[in-house]
Every structure is written in structure tokens, then in C-alpha cells.
Amino acid sequence: MATIRSLTGPAVTTEPVVRVSVAIPCFNYGRFLRDCVGSFLAQEGIAIDITIVDDASTDDSLTIARALAAEDRRVTVIESPRHHGHVETFNTALDAATGEYVVKMDADDMVPPGALARAVRLLNAHPEVSFVYGHPQVFGETAPTEFDDRVRGWTIWNGEDWIARVVERSHNVIMQPEVVMRRSAVVAIGGHLPENPEASDLNFWLRLAAVGSVARIDGPVQGLYRVHPDSLQRTVHAGYLSDLNGRVVAFDLFFRDRGRALRRGAQLEARSRVRLARDAMQIAQRAIDKRRDPEKLIAEYLDIASRLDPTVTSSRRWRSIRRRSIGSPVTGRSRRNVGTLLRDLEDKVRWRRWRRYGR
């Protein structure tokens, strides 16, 4: 089992002296932009610059961005003459970053007070770390005003060990606003890959972990993730099938690009396919439990699972899902009730582990 190095708390207490560049792509998020930028401008003990890249918004985003730049010299606006999409716009925003550390932030998200100072202190103390993250707090239209800011300690993983944990999870363990990156690591890997718009973040974190260690600030809220009806995850990239396909591509691109060069690259690649196949079957089971998806969509989940790991088709679990997906007798319904309770319990345990340990 890989070693995790846990520290009881920050190793240094001096104020950070480096600069953090914040990259904010924006498309039709004008109503959120002032809150987002304001949460960074209010950070204490940090030298900061902010670049907003407006992706040819059709609302008042550009007007608000220009006003923010006029109000504070730390804010710069890049205006795109045409709409490029979130991946290319993120890359433009990241290219504009010049600070030693970088934050990439969706315009509808925010950071709580003290988050950047905590992250910078860790990065200053551990130059081997590519990026640091923490716990993201989810909110709706109204931003929270009270936060848990108690630091239990720091956890630092060797990059390959962290990748192995993400492979086992088969999901992205990071939402994004809770991350601060070392710019040299971002430059080393390049930006987001256009081939993977649905899960470009997952691929991005994996590639960053391939060039350095990964750290987590345990305890406090490090980012604020807004959930609303117009977010990409509820519009363009909505749905379990889109998410599953995106994750499959994210892992595949990672191993083709950098993952195979890792010491355990071949083993981790094989394991990722097994775990993703298992997750595809879990999604199919959930769809049946909750009577959520039609039989045709459940068949697509199972097809993905069999392509990733052909051995699943001979498993009892596979046969059970297949039988239930085409309609089952009373015994199937009783199994579903028991199975649903067990899977709900697994979800709660998984969430608690993610909340505490970030994985």
C-alpha cells in the first residue's frame, strides 16, 4: 500500500510573498461574476491578479467584467470576438497567468476567506507539490457567509500514489474552486485537452499529478461550488451517460499521454478499466433501483462495461443486472429493495471518506 505522509499542521506561519494569478473564463455568467471576483479581491495576505476571459457572452458579462477592471487594477479583461467554448477559453485564461501559483475558476464559483493563504503556505513549504486542494462546499443561489476554517493538518501524496487512489475511485474527487496550482507544473503539462470536454478537469488533475506531488488541506472549506440550473453539469454535460463516457475518455487520454510512463503505468491503466467497468454496472443498477433510465440506456451502460472489461459478462452481477433490466419477477423486486439499501449505505460511506480525506 502506498504511503501517505500526514502532517499535524502547517509547517510555516510566515505570510506568503508570492503572487497568485486567478484565471476566470466567463460565458453568460454575468450575474455571478461580481461575487466570484470579489471573493478573490477580499483574500488577505496575498498578492493577486485576476484575468477574466469573456467568451463572447450574450448577457451583461462583458459590461460587468469591464466595470470590475475599472474598479480594481488587479483585474484584467480579455474579450473574445467569437464563442470558443469552455476548454479553449480556460486555456486562454491559463496562458494569461504569470504568478507563481494559479487558480482556475468558473465564474459562478467562489473562494472563502483565508483559502488562498492556507494553500500558498503549503505550496511554499513543499516545492515538490504540483497542486493543493481541500474541501469544496456546495451552495445554491445565495453564497454562505460562515465557514469551517479549522486546519486538522496537511496530507501529501506522491503523485503516482494519488493517481492510484483516483483510479480506485474512478471518479473525479475534485470540483475545482478548492484547487491552487503551481504554474510551472501547469506549463509542463499544457492546458486542457479539447478531445475531452465532458471531463477535461479530471484529465487535467491526473496530468498535474504525473509531474509532482499532490497535497490536501484537511479540515477547512477551500472552495465554494455553486449549483444552479444553468451550469454546464446540468446542461451541456448533463446525464450519467455523458459523465461516464467523459471519465472513460479522461483516463484513456491520460494513460496515452503520460500515465504509461509511470512506474506502475500499465498496472494502473488496466485497473482503471476494471474500476470504470464496475462503475458502469453500478450506474445501471442504480438506474434500475430508481426506475430512472429506459432499458436502452441501461444496455448502453452495460455495453461500456463489457468493452472496458470483457470478463464482467461472465459475472453473476452482470447476469443479475441484465435480468432486472428487461423486467424481473417478484424475487427481483425483493432483491432490488435490499440492494438499494446496501448501495445507499455504500454511497454514504464513500461520501464521508471523500469529505474527510479528499478521495
Angle, vertex CA 216, rays to CA 154 and CA 280, nearest 5: 140
Residue 239 pLDDT: 81
* DSSP element (H, E) containing 50: strand 47-54
Tell me the pLDDT of the chain averaged across its residues: 86
What gap in Å lies between CA 273 and CA 64, rounded to an integer? 45
- Indicate if the pLDDT at residue 349 is higher than 70: no
- Indicate if the pLDDT at residue 145 is higher than 70: yes
pLDDT band at 213 (very low <50, low <70, confident <90, very high): very high
Q: Are 52 and 37 in contact (CB under 8 A)?
A: yes
**Mean pLDDT value across residues 160-184:** 96
How far is CA 94 from its chain centroid?
Answer: 16
pLDDT band at 97 (very low <50, low <70, confident <90, very high): very high
- Indicate if the pLDDT at residue 329 is higher than 90: no
pLDDT band at 86 (very low <50, low <70, confident <90, very high): confident
**Mean pLDDT value across residues 88-108:** 93
Q: Are 222 and 116 in contact (CB under 8 A)?
A: no
Residue range 16-75, pLDDT digits in tens: 468 999 999 999 999 999 999 999 999 999 999 999 999 999 999 999 999 999 999 999
Residue 231 pLDDT: 55
Q: Are 91 and 13 in contact (CB under 8 A)?
A: no
Residue range 267-293, pLDDT digits in tens: 999 999 999 999 999 999 888 877 776
Neighbours of 87 (CB within 10 A): 19
Question: Burial, 224: exposed, middle or buried (Cβ in 10 Å; 0-12, 13-18, 19+)?
Answer: buried
Q: Where are the domains of the chain?
A: 5-234, 264-357
**Mean pLDDT value across residues 159-167:** 97
Fold of 5-234: Spore Coat Polysaccharide Biosynthesis Protein SpsA; Chain A (3.90.550)
Name residues whose C-beta falls within 8 Å of residue 46's C-beta, 6 or more positions apart in sequence: 16, 20, 116, 117, 120
Residue that wins the pLDDT comparison between 222 and 290: 222
Angle, vertex CA 110, rays to CA 104 and CA 113, nearest 5: 110
